[in-house]
Amino acid sequence: MKHIRIHKEGRLILGTLLLVLLLLNLFIYIKFQLIVLAINIVLSALLLFFFAYFFRNPVRKVVIDDPSLVVAPADGTIVVVEPTEENEYFGDKRIQVSIFMNVFNVHANWVPVKGTVLKSIHHSGRHMAAFLPKSSTENERSTVVIETEFKTQILVRQIAGALARRIVTYAHAGKECHINEHIGFIKFGSRVDLYFPMDTEIFVQVGDSTTGNETIIARLNE
């Protein structure tokens, strides 16, 4: 079994929730019958389990000898594989691959390819359902552009969903990034888009499931 820990983005939330539930159960113990306390303890345990499950951070290490291979930055389901115009940074046609994360997926995001971060910027926006196509340009999102050692550039876009209210991005311009590192975290349902050069070989199709930092999704033409 793989070692699993709690992601740092969830530790304060879980600690605060645990304290609140302890105080609530203490109050119920003083004021109400034991049956009420028993029910509340069960509900508290279920709530704690859900938050601990959501903020789980599985330790995944992958060894990739071929620097042209791209690993999935997130757990989820492929919802888009198509050529599209990417106008925020490239201003030309790219292959878009989108991974939708539901609330039960791991929400840590990994670096998809070794390289140097050229750009990292956060955009405020709406909170529509992340599986909708226009969420890529209208929702709250964070854009990261990575250049590989062979000067190929890819764009990674973290997109908040209907429930997500906070995107955390660890990448910043000028930083070296590597496979097995986290690029960020999105809280409560979201999506990650990737934009590749048109000559990239794509290994996934719509409907495929991905495992972050494990599933090989593409090969760059380098």
Q: Which of 44, 120, 190, 209 is catalytic?
A: 190
How is residue 14 written in tokens?
């879980």
Per this entry, what is the length of the chain?
222
Nearest-angstrom CA–CA distance, 190 and 70: 20
Nearest-angstrom CA–CA distance, 222 and 217: 16
Angle separating helix axes 34-54 and 8-31, nearest 10 degrees: 180
Q: Is 190 a catalytic residue?
A: yes
Three-state secondary-structure class, residue 98: strand
How is residue 50 written in tokens?
């859900």
The helix (H) or strand (E) run that includes residue 146 is strand 141-147
Which residues have a catalytic role annotated?
190
